[in-house]
Structure 1
Amino acid sequence: MPTPERTSLDAIVTAASDLLEETGLVGVTMQAVADRVGVRPPSLYKRVENRERLIQLVAEATLTEVGRLTADAEGPADLANTMRAFGHRRPAAFQLVMTPSPGTPVAGDPFRVAASASILRVSRDLVGDTRALEAARTLTAWTAGFITMELGGSFRLGGDLEDAWRFGLERITAALASADDGESAAPRD
Protein backbone atom coordinates (compact mmCIF):
# COMPACT_ATOMS: atom_id res chain seq x y z
CA MET A 1 0.00 0.00 0.00
CA PRO A 2 1.46 3.43 -0.95
CA THR A 3 2.36 5.91 1.75
CA PRO A 4 -0.34 8.57 2.16
CA GLU A 5 0.52 12.06 1.04
CA ARG A 6 1.20 14.17 4.13
CA THR A 7 1.61 17.51 2.43
CA SER A 8 1.14 19.22 -0.91
CA LEU A 9 3.33 21.46 -3.01
CA ASP A 10 0.95 24.36 -2.28
CA ALA A 11 1.31 23.79 1.47
CA ILE A 12 5.09 23.69 1.13
CA VAL A 13 5.21 26.94 -0.87
CA THR A 14 2.80 28.62 1.58
CA ALA A 15 4.94 27.51 4.53
CA ALA A 16 8.08 28.80 2.81
CA SER A 17 6.34 32.11 2.02
CA ASP A 18 5.28 32.50 5.64
CA LEU A 19 8.80 31.74 6.84
CA LEU A 20 10.18 34.27 4.37
CA GLU A 21 8.11 37.01 6.01
CA GLU A 22 8.88 35.85 9.55
CA THR A 23 12.61 35.13 9.29
CA GLY A 24 13.85 36.48 5.98
CA LEU A 25 15.38 34.46 3.19
CA VAL A 26 17.99 32.93 5.49
CA GLY A 27 15.23 31.27 7.51
CA VAL A 28 13.72 29.51 4.50
CA THR A 29 15.40 26.15 4.94
CA MET A 30 14.19 22.70 4.03
CA GLN A 31 14.23 21.78 7.74
CA ALA A 32 12.17 24.82 8.75
CA VAL A 33 9.63 24.21 5.98
CA ALA A 34 9.41 20.51 6.87
CA ASP A 35 8.79 21.43 10.50
CA ARG A 36 6.12 23.90 9.45
CA VAL A 37 4.19 21.41 7.30
CA GLY A 38 4.69 18.51 9.72
CA VAL A 39 6.93 16.20 7.74
CA ARG A 40 10.57 15.16 7.84
CA PRO A 41 12.91 17.03 5.46
CA PRO A 42 13.44 14.02 3.16
CA SER A 43 9.70 14.07 2.45
CA LEU A 44 10.01 17.57 0.98
CA TYR A 45 12.40 16.31 -1.66
CA LYS A 46 9.55 14.27 -3.16
CA ARG A 47 7.98 17.60 -4.17
CA VAL A 48 10.87 20.09 -4.35
CA GLU A 49 14.35 19.04 -5.41
CA ASN A 50 16.29 21.63 -3.35
CA ARG A 51 16.18 24.94 -1.49
CA GLU A 52 16.95 26.96 -4.62
CA ARG A 53 13.91 25.51 -6.39
CA LEU A 54 11.80 26.15 -3.28
CA ILE A 55 12.80 29.82 -3.29
CA GLN A 56 12.07 30.00 -7.00
CA LEU A 57 8.60 28.55 -6.35
CA VAL A 58 8.00 31.20 -3.67
CA ALA A 59 9.07 33.92 -6.14
CA GLU A 60 6.73 32.47 -8.77
CA ALA A 61 3.82 32.31 -6.33
CA THR A 62 4.55 35.90 -5.32
CA LEU A 63 4.53 37.13 -8.91
CA THR A 64 1.29 35.25 -9.53
CA GLU A 65 -0.23 37.10 -6.57
CA VAL A 66 1.14 40.45 -7.76
CA GLY A 67 -0.30 39.84 -11.23
CA ARG A 68 -3.69 39.01 -9.74
CA LEU A 69 -3.66 42.08 -7.48
CA THR A 70 -2.70 44.48 -10.27
CA ALA A 71 -4.80 42.92 -13.06
CA ASP A 72 -7.57 45.49 -12.76
CA ALA A 73 -5.38 48.52 -12.04
CA GLU A 74 -6.89 51.67 -13.50
CA GLY A 75 -3.89 53.80 -14.29
CA PRO A 76 -0.40 54.28 -12.91
CA ALA A 77 -1.49 55.59 -9.49
CA ASP A 78 -3.78 52.62 -8.85
CA LEU A 79 -1.08 50.20 -9.97
CA ALA A 80 1.66 51.84 -7.87
CA ASN A 81 -0.59 52.09 -4.81
CA THR A 82 -1.45 48.41 -5.15
CA MET A 83 2.24 47.53 -5.34
CA ARG A 84 2.96 49.70 -2.32
CA ALA A 85 0.20 48.03 -0.30
CA PHE A 86 1.60 44.64 -1.28
CA GLY A 87 5.10 45.73 -0.27
CA HIS A 88 3.88 46.81 3.14
CA ARG A 89 1.89 43.63 3.66
CA ARG A 90 4.62 41.26 2.41
CA PRO A 91 7.94 43.13 2.51
CA ALA A 92 10.20 40.09 2.20
CA ALA A 93 8.25 38.73 -0.77
CA PHE A 94 8.32 42.19 -2.36
CA GLN A 95 12.10 42.29 -1.99
CA LEU A 96 12.44 38.73 -3.30
CA VAL A 97 10.78 39.59 -6.61
CA MET A 98 11.65 43.27 -7.03
CA THR A 99 15.19 43.56 -5.63
CA PRO A 100 16.66 40.07 -5.23
CA SER A 101 20.24 39.85 -4.03
CA PRO A 102 22.79 38.44 -6.45
CA GLY A 103 22.59 34.66 -6.50
CA THR A 104 19.01 34.56 -5.22
CA PRO A 105 16.85 32.24 -7.31
CA VAL A 106 14.33 34.17 -9.38
CA ALA A 107 10.99 33.30 -10.95
CA GLY A 108 10.92 31.81 -14.40
CA ASP A 109 10.23 34.03 -17.39
CA PRO A 110 6.57 33.02 -17.85
CA PHE A 111 5.81 34.28 -14.32
CA ARG A 112 7.68 37.53 -14.83
CA VAL A 113 5.95 38.13 -18.16
CA ALA A 114 2.51 37.42 -16.67
CA ALA A 115 3.14 39.72 -13.69
CA SER A 116 4.26 42.47 -16.08
CA ALA A 117 1.06 42.45 -18.12
CA SER A 118 -0.68 45.08 -15.97
CA ILE A 119 2.22 47.54 -15.91
CA LEU A 120 2.63 47.18 -19.66
CA ARG A 121 -1.10 47.78 -20.21
CA VAL A 122 -1.09 50.83 -17.94
CA SER A 123 2.06 52.14 -19.59
CA ARG A 124 0.65 51.59 -23.08
CA ASP A 125 -2.45 53.56 -22.10
CA LEU A 126 -0.21 56.33 -20.78
CA VAL A 127 2.39 56.66 -23.55
CA GLY A 128 1.28 54.53 -26.48
CA ASP A 129 2.73 51.37 -27.97
CA THR A 130 6.13 52.67 -29.06
CA ARG A 131 7.47 53.48 -25.59
CA ALA A 132 5.29 51.26 -23.38
CA LEU A 133 8.19 49.04 -22.31
CA GLU A 134 10.39 52.00 -21.42
CA ALA A 135 7.55 53.64 -19.50
CA ALA A 136 6.82 50.39 -17.67
CA ARG A 137 10.47 50.06 -16.66
CA THR A 138 10.61 53.67 -15.50
CA LEU A 139 7.43 53.44 -13.46
CA THR A 140 8.48 50.08 -12.00
CA ALA A 141 11.93 51.36 -11.08
CA TRP A 142 10.57 54.46 -9.35
CA THR A 143 7.85 52.51 -7.52
CA ALA A 144 10.14 49.67 -6.43
CA GLY A 145 12.87 52.10 -5.41
CA PHE A 146 10.57 54.24 -3.29
CA ILE A 147 8.95 51.22 -1.63
CA THR A 148 12.30 49.53 -0.98
CA MET A 149 13.71 52.69 0.60
CA GLU A 150 10.53 53.18 2.61
CA LEU A 151 10.56 49.61 3.92
CA GLY A 152 14.25 49.92 4.77
CA GLY A 153 13.72 53.12 6.77
CA SER A 154 15.90 55.14 4.43
CA PHE A 155 13.78 58.31 4.42
CA ARG A 156 15.15 60.02 7.54
CA LEU A 157 15.07 63.71 6.68
CA GLY A 158 11.56 64.27 7.97
CA GLY A 159 8.59 65.47 6.01
CA ASP A 160 5.41 63.68 5.12
CA LEU A 161 6.13 60.36 3.42
CA GLU A 162 2.61 60.12 2.00
CA ASP A 163 3.04 63.56 0.45
CA ALA A 164 6.41 62.49 -1.00
CA TRP A 165 4.80 59.36 -2.47
CA ARG A 166 1.99 61.35 -4.09
CA PHE A 167 4.39 64.03 -5.32
CA GLY A 168 6.75 61.51 -6.91
CA LEU A 169 3.97 59.45 -8.43
CA GLU A 170 2.28 62.53 -9.92
CA ARG A 171 5.58 63.80 -11.34
CA ILE A 172 6.72 60.49 -12.79
CA THR A 173 3.28 59.93 -14.35
CA ALA A 174 3.19 63.45 -15.80
CA ALA A 175 6.72 63.11 -17.17
CA LEU A 176 5.88 59.81 -18.84
CA ALA A 177 2.60 61.11 -20.23
CA SER A 178 4.31 64.13 -21.77
CA ALA A 179 7.17 62.14 -23.31
CA ASP A 180 7.53 62.09 -27.07
CA ASP A 181 6.01 58.86 -28.43
CA GLY A 182 8.47 58.73 -31.33
CA GLU A 183 12.11 57.80 -31.41
CA SER A 184 14.20 60.16 -29.34
CA ALA A 185 17.26 61.83 -30.78
CA ALA A 186 20.61 60.24 -30.09
CA PRO A 187 22.47 61.83 -27.19
CA ARG A 188 25.06 64.40 -28.11
CA ASP A 189 28.66 64.22 -27.02
Structure 2
Amino acid sequence: MPTPDRTSRDAIVLAARELLETDGLGGLTMNAVAQVVGVRAPSLYKRVDSRDRLIQLVAEATLTELSVLLDGTSDLAEAARTFRDFGRQRPAAFQLVMTPGPGTPSAGAEFGAAASAPILRIAAQLAGEQHALAAARMFTAWVSGFVSMEINGGFQLGGDLEEAWEFGVTGIRTAITASR
Protein backbone atom coordinates (compact mmCIF):
# COMPACT_ATOMS: atom_id res chain seq x y z
CA MET A 1 0.00 0.00 0.00
CA PRO A 2 1.52 3.41 -1.00
CA THR A 3 2.17 5.99 1.66
CA PRO A 4 -0.25 8.93 1.70
CA ASP A 5 0.88 12.28 0.35
CA ARG A 6 1.58 14.54 3.31
CA THR A 7 2.32 17.73 1.44
CA SER A 8 1.85 19.44 -1.91
CA ARG A 9 4.17 21.26 -4.26
CA ASP A 10 2.36 24.51 -3.41
CA ALA A 11 2.97 23.97 0.32
CA ILE A 12 6.62 23.20 -0.38
CA VAL A 13 7.09 26.36 -2.46
CA LEU A 14 5.29 28.47 0.14
CA ALA A 15 7.54 27.09 2.89
CA ALA A 16 10.59 27.70 0.73
CA ARG A 17 9.53 31.31 0.09
CA GLU A 18 9.15 31.89 3.83
CA LEU A 19 12.54 30.32 4.54
CA LEU A 20 14.15 32.44 1.84
CA GLU A 21 13.01 35.58 3.64
CA THR A 22 14.01 34.43 7.12
CA ASP A 23 17.19 32.46 6.42
CA GLY A 24 18.36 33.68 3.02
CA LEU A 25 19.25 31.60 0.01
CA GLY A 26 21.88 29.67 1.97
CA GLY A 27 19.26 28.61 4.51
CA LEU A 28 16.88 27.40 1.83
CA THR A 29 17.65 23.69 2.04
CA MET A 30 15.55 20.63 1.37
CA ASN A 31 15.95 19.63 5.04
CA ALA A 32 14.74 23.02 6.25
CA VAL A 33 11.74 22.97 3.92
CA ALA A 34 10.90 19.42 4.96
CA GLN A 35 10.93 20.46 8.60
CA VAL A 36 8.57 23.38 7.91
CA VAL A 37 6.06 21.26 5.97
CA GLY A 38 6.31 18.38 8.45
CA VAL A 39 7.82 15.62 6.35
CA ARG A 40 11.20 14.01 5.98
CA ALA A 41 13.48 15.48 3.32
CA PRO A 42 13.32 12.41 1.02
CA SER A 43 9.55 12.92 0.79
CA LEU A 44 10.07 16.33 -0.85
CA TYR A 45 11.71 14.70 -3.83
CA LYS A 46 8.33 13.26 -4.82
CA ARG A 47 7.26 16.85 -5.59
CA VAL A 48 10.52 18.70 -6.32
CA ASP A 49 13.48 16.83 -7.73
CA SER A 50 16.29 19.10 -6.48
CA ARG A 51 17.17 22.21 -4.52
CA ASP A 52 17.91 24.01 -7.79
CA ARG A 53 14.42 23.20 -9.04
CA LEU A 54 12.99 24.40 -5.73
CA ILE A 55 14.82 27.73 -6.09
CA GLN A 56 13.52 28.00 -9.65
CA LEU A 57 9.96 27.38 -8.41
CA VAL A 58 10.42 30.07 -5.75
CA ALA A 59 11.67 32.51 -8.41
CA GLU A 60 8.68 31.67 -10.60
CA ALA A 61 6.23 32.15 -7.73
CA THR A 62 7.90 35.46 -6.91
CA LEU A 63 7.63 36.73 -10.48
CA THR A 64 4.01 35.58 -10.63
CA GLU A 65 3.23 37.57 -7.50
CA LEU A 66 5.09 40.63 -8.81
CA SER A 67 3.33 40.31 -12.16
CA VAL A 68 -0.08 40.39 -10.49
CA LEU A 69 0.90 43.44 -8.46
CA LEU A 70 2.31 45.30 -11.47
CA ASP A 71 -0.61 44.39 -13.70
CA GLY A 72 -2.81 46.77 -11.72
CA THR A 73 -0.48 49.74 -12.21
CA SER A 74 -1.36 52.48 -14.66
CA ASP A 75 1.62 54.84 -14.61
CA LEU A 76 5.36 54.88 -14.09
CA ALA A 77 5.35 56.27 -10.56
CA GLU A 78 2.80 53.69 -9.43
CA ALA A 79 4.81 50.86 -11.03
CA ALA A 80 7.97 52.15 -9.34
CA ARG A 81 6.22 52.27 -5.95
CA THR A 82 4.92 48.75 -6.49
CA PHE A 83 8.43 47.48 -7.23
CA ARG A 84 9.81 49.29 -4.20
CA ASP A 85 7.09 48.09 -1.85
CA PHE A 86 7.59 44.53 -3.04
CA GLY A 87 11.34 44.78 -2.51
CA ARG A 88 10.90 46.14 0.99
CA GLN A 89 8.35 43.48 1.95
CA ARG A 90 10.15 40.53 0.32
CA PRO A 91 13.80 41.58 0.04
CA ALA A 92 15.30 38.12 -0.46
CA ALA A 93 12.72 37.21 -3.11
CA PHE A 94 13.25 40.57 -4.82
CA GLN A 95 16.98 39.97 -5.00
CA LEU A 96 16.47 36.39 -6.17
CA VAL A 97 14.61 37.57 -9.26
CA MET A 98 16.16 40.99 -9.87
CA THR A 99 19.82 40.48 -8.95
CA PRO A 100 20.52 36.74 -8.72
CA GLY A 101 24.07 35.70 -8.10
CA PRO A 102 26.10 33.65 -10.57
CA GLY A 103 24.82 30.11 -10.83
CA THR A 104 21.57 30.86 -9.02
CA PRO A 105 18.66 29.05 -10.72
CA SER A 106 16.26 31.44 -12.38
CA ALA A 107 12.64 31.42 -13.42
CA GLY A 108 11.55 30.38 -16.87
CA ALA A 109 11.52 33.17 -19.44
CA GLU A 110 7.71 33.21 -19.57
CA PHE A 111 7.59 34.34 -15.93
CA GLY A 112 9.94 37.25 -16.60
CA ALA A 113 7.92 38.16 -19.68
CA ALA A 114 4.69 38.22 -17.68
CA ALA A 115 6.21 40.46 -15.01
CA SER A 116 7.67 42.73 -17.70
CA ALA A 117 4.44 43.15 -19.66
CA PRO A 118 2.95 45.92 -17.48
CA ILE A 119 6.24 47.84 -17.55
CA LEU A 120 6.46 47.49 -21.33
CA ARG A 121 2.89 48.76 -21.63
CA ILE A 122 3.64 51.85 -19.55
CA ALA A 123 6.96 52.40 -21.35
CA ALA A 124 5.21 52.25 -24.73
CA GLN A 125 2.70 54.87 -23.58
CA LEU A 126 5.52 57.19 -22.54
CA ALA A 127 8.22 56.52 -25.12
CA GLY A 128 6.30 55.07 -28.05
CA GLU A 129 6.41 51.51 -29.32
CA GLN A 130 9.79 52.03 -31.01
CA HIS A 131 11.54 52.77 -27.69
CA ALA A 132 9.37 50.75 -25.30
CA LEU A 133 11.86 47.94 -24.66
CA ALA A 134 14.78 50.29 -24.06
CA ALA A 135 12.65 52.47 -21.79
CA ALA A 136 11.38 49.46 -19.83
CA ARG A 137 14.94 48.21 -19.38
CA MET A 138 16.14 51.61 -18.18
CA PHE A 139 13.27 51.87 -15.71
CA THR A 140 13.73 48.33 -14.41
CA ALA A 141 17.49 48.74 -14.04
CA TRP A 142 17.11 51.97 -12.07
CA VAL A 143 14.34 50.68 -9.80
CA SER A 144 16.12 47.39 -9.22
CA GLY A 145 19.38 49.14 -8.40
CA PHE A 146 17.80 51.68 -6.09
CA VAL A 147 15.75 49.11 -4.21
CA SER A 148 18.68 46.69 -3.96
CA MET A 149 20.88 49.41 -2.51
CA GLU A 150 18.12 50.43 -0.14
CA ILE A 151 17.45 46.95 1.23
CA ASN A 152 21.18 46.24 1.54
CA GLY A 153 21.95 49.49 3.36
CA GLY A 154 23.96 50.79 0.42
CA PHE A 155 23.06 54.45 0.79
CA GLN A 156 25.72 55.72 3.18
CA LEU A 157 26.01 59.40 2.31
CA GLY A 158 23.04 60.59 4.34
CA GLY A 159 20.38 62.86 2.96
CA ASP A 160 16.71 62.26 2.41
CA LEU A 161 16.18 58.89 0.75
CA GLU A 162 12.55 59.69 -0.13
CA GLU A 163 13.69 62.84 -1.88
CA ALA A 164 16.26 60.80 -3.82
CA TRP A 165 13.57 58.29 -4.77
CA GLU A 166 11.21 60.98 -6.07
CA PHE A 167 14.07 62.70 -7.90
CA GLY A 168 14.93 59.42 -9.58
CA VAL A 169 11.36 58.56 -10.57
CA THR A 170 10.93 62.06 -12.03
CA GLY A 171 14.25 61.80 -13.86
CA ILE A 172 13.44 58.40 -15.32
CA ARG A 173 10.02 59.61 -16.47
CA THR A 174 11.57 62.72 -18.04
CA ALA A 175 14.24 60.67 -19.83
CA ILE A 176 11.71 58.15 -21.15
CA THR A 177 9.25 60.76 -22.40
CA ALA A 178 12.07 62.75 -24.05
CA SER A 179 12.77 59.80 -26.34
CA ARG A 180 9.31 59.98 -27.91
Alignment TM-score, normalising by the size of structure 1:
0.94
Shift of 1:172: 1.0
1:63-96 C-alpha deviation (Å, 9 max, x unpaired)? 0000000001111100010000000000000000
Name the CA distance, whole Å, in 2 between partners of 1:87 and 1:38. Answer: 29
Name the CA distance, whole Å, in 2 between partners of 1:157 and 1:67. Answer: 33
Name the CA distance, whole Å, in 1 between partners of 2:34 and 2:161. Answer: 40
Q: How does 1:4-43 map to 2 (within 5 A)?
A: 4-43=4-43
Report the more deviating stretch, 50-59 or 118-127: 118-127
Name the CA distance, whole Å, in 1 between partners of 2:110 and 2:176. Answer: 27
1:129 aligned onto 2:118: no
Gaps of 5+ in 1: 182-189
Name the CA distance, whole Å, in 2 between partners of 1:113 and 1:142. Answer: 18
Q: How does 1:100-111 map to 2 (within 5 A)?
A: 100-111=100-111
Partner in structure 1 of residue 158 of structure 2: 158
1:94 aligned onto 2:94: yes
Instruction: Return the structure number with greater helix share.
Output: 2
Gaps of 5+ in 2: none
Name the CA distance, whole Å, in 2 between partners of 1:40 and 1:121. Answer: 45
Partner in structure 2 of residue 184 of structure 1: none
Larger Rg: 1
Name the CA distance, whole Å, in 2 between partners of 1:115 and 1:167. Answer: 25
Name the CA distance, whole Å, in 2 between partners of 1:134 and 1:62. Answer: 24
Name the CA distance, whole Å, in 2 between partners of 1:89 and 1:28. Answer: 18
1:24-52 C-alpha deviation (Å, 9 max, x unpaired)? 00000000000000000110000000000
Partner in structure 2 of residue 170 of structure 1: 170
Partner in structure 2 of residue 50 of structure 1: 50
- AA paired with 2:104? T
1:121-161 C-alpha deviation (Å, 9 max, x unpaired)? 11111111101000000000000000001111111111110
Query: Alignment partner of 2:130: what SS?
Result: coil
Query: Alignment partner of 1:4: what SS?
Result: coil
Name the CA distance, whole Å, in 1 between partners of 2:115 and 2:66. Answer: 6
Partner in structure 1 of residue 83 of structure 2: 83
Partner in structure 1 of residue 144 of structure 2: 144
Shift of 1:4: 1.6
Partner in structure 2 of residue 187 of structure 1: none
CA RMSD of aligned residues (A): 0.7
Name the CA distance, whole Å, in 2 between partners of 1:117 and 1:174. Answer: 21
Between the aligned residues of both structures, percent identity stands at 61
Shift of 1:2: 3.1
Name the CA distance, whole Å, in 1 between partners of 2:155 and 2:27. Answer: 27
Name the CA distance, whole Å, in 2 between partners of 1:152 and 1:40. Answer: 34
Partner in structure 2 of residue 114 of structure 1: 114
